[in-house]
Amino acid sequence: MNFKQEFLAALNSGSTDQSLLQLVTRYQAAGLAPQKSYEILEEIWTEYGYDKKDDGDRLRQSLEYIMEKVWYQGDLHAGAELT
């Protein structure tokens, strides 16, 4: 399973934001560049149509929270706080 597949499975299964952050951190620690992880998250965001609608469902809130963390903190496994 790759990052996108594993993230989607976790997101759709109702994983907590903390669990999703840990998933991103694990992939970054294994060599996934922060910019690439953000691009994949943005791809998911677009595929879900969030670029065209303005609903505030739980999936969107979690996804955008994780995207924001990756955007502003970048390399999450380099010691950035995960709260």
Taking only the tens place, the pLDDT of each residue in 14-46 is 999 999 999 999 999 999 999 999 999 999 999
Residue 82 phi, psi dihedral angles, 5° rounding: -110, 40
Rounded mean pLDDT, 57-78 = 88
Q: Could you give the percent of the chain with pLDDT greater than 70?
A: 92
Average pLDDT value for residue range 61-73: 93
Helix (H, G, I), strand (E, B) or coil at 15: coil
pLDDT at residue 1, as a whole number: 82
Name the one residue in this structure whose structure tokens are 């996934």: 32
Contact assessment for residue 12 and residue 3, using Cβ atoms and an 8 Å cutoff = no
| Single-letter amino acid, residue 40 | I
Q: Give the per-residue pLDDT at 47.
A: 95
